[in-house]
Structure 1
Amino acid sequence: MLQKYLAEFIGTFWLVLGGCGSAVLSAKFPEVGIGLAGVALAFGLTVLTGAYALGPISGGHFNPAVTVGLWAGGRFPARQIAPYIVVQVAGGIVAAAVLYAIASGKPGFDATAGFAANGYGEHSPGNYSLGSALITEVVMTFMFVLVILGATHTRAPVGFAGLAIGLALTLVHLISIPVTNTSVNPARSTGPALFAGVWALSQLWLFWLAPLLGGILAGVLYRGVLEREVPEPDVAGRPEGGWRPAHH
């Protein structure tokens, strides 16, 4: 189990350092900055590379919402939820500390100005409300975990899960960075919030509640509905020939 925990720690560390690091260090240079699309791609690349490098060891969750979603989907044992979440959050915090050590070397750096922390209201990049943030985080996490469950199914094409998951996280960020700075991951939110200050910590509850809820909903739906066997229709659209898997 030590290998699994270490893999989850490193994977979450890489996700937060790569994703949040791109936002803090690289996004705001008008002439050469990577911008919103670049930050979104950076988050996707961290998960893609981490999934292929560390997924064979720990499953490559790197996210408490994914861990809980996989449990709800019948893919992960309940007894391992707490240890996985602990090491994921630890990885996120250490990554944020490393990023702070790098970013604070620039004159005028102020972590309280953002530090890639998630927020709503006046702390939303687009000044979106609490309600908008809640809906966004639940729906984006729901879709992200749904992609993970489908891409890692035994009937899915072998070897492509990491690519699908990385691209899904990129898309999630392209949609939702203006609303919340995109969490869909409580560990990713917790690390930067510790350095961004009181405002980020006071809003952190949303970025635990919404992703966990979205992950659980995805797991329940996938296990209870999408994974169930369905009849394959004939050319007229009527069930024929008995019951077959939903994915063929």
Structure 2
Amino acid sequence: MKAYHYRRIFAVILTLGCLAAVGFAAEGSRRPEISGRETSDAGGGRFVSGSAADYILQPMDVLKVFVFQHDDLNKQMEAVQVSPEHTISLPLVQTIKLKGKTTRQAEQIIRDAFDRDYLVNPQVSVIVVKYAERSVNVLGQVGKPDRVLFPPEKGLTILEAITLAGGHTRLADLKKVKLTRKQENGDTEVMEIDVDALMKRGGRDAVQLQKDDVIFVPERIL
């Protein structure tokens, strides 16, 4: 009777051990959940997440284009600059249009261009080796009125720009901040932004800046 009892206990322990092993294996094989950042418009383009593959290419960026197992071709593509027209020139395929394209999308476009007439199933990678300098001007009632640089790979909000310019002074009228922006057609747009309301919302819906924007923080009328 005792032997039968021990055999039952051993069988239960063995079964539990197997179930635990299966559970751990399933947990280990489960892919981690990846969360991304919200898309925001800045610098003439939009930025999706912090990944370099999702950076939207800008004029004057310098790229390195690499095609697997094509060393002679790669030597000609170690420093490819994006033109003011958002294009690049590559050997064999000539001009490639990249306006509004991410690094990841550029890889696919270049791959298709080479694959069309010259290479068989090319494996292409694109790396930004030098980011174009992008800046805005922050003037008026801020601690250090000056030019503020965009961080590489990232956008810049109006709240961040004011902070980088030393923050606002006690006399600042944050309800009537002026944002001046030059459009692609040459026209100038002036917007009045209630920065005070943005701050009260914790920065949500903060206005994203573009290259060469001018922010003016006026003095409060007492």
Same fold (TM over 0.5): no
Which structure has more RCO (C-alpha within 8 Å, separation ≥ 6)?
Answer: 1
TM-score of the superposed pair, with normalisation by structure 1:
0.22
Q: Give the TM-score of the pair, scaled to structure 2.
A: 0.24
- Greater share of residues in helix: 1
Indicate the structure (1 or 2) with the bigger Cα radius of gyration.
Answer: 2
